[in-house]
Amino acid sequence: IARFQDNVRGWGVNPETLVVVYDDNAGAQAGRAWWTLRWAGFDNVRLLDGGVDAWAALGQTVTKEAATPAGGGTVTLRAGCMPTLSADAAAALARSSVLLDARGKANYVGAPAEPGKPATGHIPGAMLAPSGEHVDCGCFRPSDDIRRRLVELGVDASKPIGVYCGSGNAASHLLAAMHAAGLEASLYVGSWSHWSADPARPVATGPERG
């Protein structure tokens, strides 16, 4: 957290600063920045819906020049301000409540493993909820639509909800979409990369939750 705070202060961020994060991939990476800043106790952060493509489509200026960080920021950050899950907690949540897998269907089902990469599949009991399904033409779908889709999937806002993906990026993007729809959930930060690193952990394959 100390290193992260130094980085954020180097951007010139003060306690009252509004931070906007974006990317060129419908928010797939910017969502992780949004989540990480909130995890560090900085809530005044927004995700630019549609990213740089939406910005350019409005005729706004785009440059190839790298910005110089302002420096001199005074923000104070603290770890642990967003809920997270351990591997054991994610497994328990998949059995007792809702654990969403934000990856694509091929990884969830268990596509053939590539050489040097861990076998795919999913945490037993997890539900398939690809983060990309909550995006249309690069922007988030309407919040009511996102909420309806998740409720149809079986998400119950009155019960604990967990989210994971391959390494935490897609899951963070899904968490941003859920936040816009009035739903909060915990992130299994290590996600499938962490889960699959231990061969003793069970793996479900196929389209069923397992």
User: Is 137 among the catalytic positions?
Assistant: no
Strand partners, 98: 161
Checking DSSP bridges between strand 161-164 and strand 98-101, what pairing results, if any?
Answer: parallel
**Within 10 Å of residue 41's Cβ, how many Cβ atoms?**
16
Q: Nearest-CA neighbor of 21 among 10, 33, 36?
A: 33
For residue 201, give the DSSP letter.
Answer: S
Contacts of 4 (CB under 8 A, 6+ apart): 36, 40, 77
Structure tokens at 1: 């957290």
Q: Do 98 and 154 form a contact (C-beta atoms < 8 A)? A: yes
- CA dist., res. 209 & res. 202, Å (int): 12
From the candidates 81, 137, 139, 165, which is the catalytic residue? 165
Structure tokens at 33: 């920045």
Catalytic residues: 165
